[in-house]
Amino acid sequence: MFKILEKQMLNPVIAKIVIEAPRVAKAALPGQFLIVRDGEKGERIPLTISDSDPVKGSVTVVIQLIGASTRQMVEEYNVGDSYSDVVGPLGNPSDFVNMSPEELRAQHYVFIAGGLGTAPVYPQAKWLHDRGVAVDVIIGARTRDLLIYTAELGGACDNLYLCTDDGSVGFKGVGTAKLEQLVNEEGKSYTTCVAIGPMIMMKFASLCCGKLGIPIVVSMNSLMVDGTGMCGACRISVGGETRFSCVDGPEFDGALVDWDEAMRRSRQYKGEETAAMEKK
């Protein structure tokens, strides 16, 4: 059993959960994910690790109340309760963890984060920033009330840019528009962009980076179901070859992803999820 140490609603639909899992915390690296099951008959939910503390023996996940299982996991469990299973870390860590100090010093990363994807950006930006790598972060949301992890990321990067569709805070517009402004108007230069968020955002971030000549990495964790490669639900085409998000990823070259196929696949269980929500 894995005890819930902290629970916080970051906004009306996103919860931050800190779980006691010492062995996972000790091994976790940026970019990896967990499989969490709330009870013995619960659904296996893949969740990206948004923080880990080897000293306290805890891992942090951020859950969006998007379906019946995630709502149950948040609404029916509180501090002191326990989830039955936390398995991980799974997936491949971000490529930069294998870079030499010399390679890292030559990098200038920009992250584009949207919605729930803001949370997994944090451990990546923090890992790089702690090692002296230049890091800029762009966070986008529809309105200021939906922005998350702004304080955490503010301390884990050189420059933090907030973007809102309605202009309620920061730059009025989407994250890709801000990136274009930084490069074309302010003369910024980046060696790599990492985009994590809704599928449509990552698609347009990849197109934007293609125009700007910036290599881009995207995280396809939102496609995962089983998390072990056995169900095949998260398969995508990358550079014309079939890949599985959970075992080959979750990070891929955004310029090589077949985005039309990936977006179709992201909607494949919408009917079943709607039916499950109606039963609640």
pLDDT digits (tens, 9 = 90+) for 224-268: 776 677 777 778 899 999 998 888 889 999 999 999 888 887 776
Residue 273: what pLDDT? 47
In angstroms, the Cα distances linking 118 to 115, 153, 160, 234 are 6, 9, 12, 21
Cβ partners under 8 Å of residue 53, min gap 6: 25, 59
Binning pLDDT at 50, 70 and 90, where does residue 30 land? Answer: very high
At 48-68, the pLDDT tens digits run: 899 999 999 999 999 998 888
Structure tokens at 9: 């609603």
Give domain limits for the chain. 2-90, 95-219
Q: pTM for the whole thing?
A: 0.89
For 15, half-sphere exposure in the C-beta direction (CA atoms, 13 angstrom radius) is 20
Domain 2-90 belongs to what topology?
A: Elongation Factor Tu (Ef-tu); domain 3 (2.40.30)
Using the predicted structure, report yes or no on whether residue 38 has a pLDDT greater than 50: yes
Across 267-277, average pLDDT? 50
At 97-136, the pLDDT tens digits run: 999 999 999 999 999 999 889 999 999 999 999 999 999 9
Q: Which CATH architecture has domain 95-219?
A: 3-Layer(aba) Sandwich (3.40)
Let me know if 206 is exposed, middle or buried by CB neighbors in 10 A (0-12, 13-18, 19+).
buried
Backbone angles phi, psi at 248, to 5 degrees: -95, -20
What 3-state class would DSSP assign to 139? strand
Across 8-12, average pLDDT? 91
Binning pLDDT at 50, 70 and 90, where does residue 143 land? Answer: very high
Binning pLDDT at 50, 70 and 90, where does residue 150 land? Answer: very high
Helix (H) or strand (E) holding 262: helix 259-266
Residue owning tokens 């451990």: 123
Residue 226: what pLDDT? 67
At 84-100, the pLDDT tens digits run: 999 889 999 999 999 99
More confident residue, 27 or 221: 27
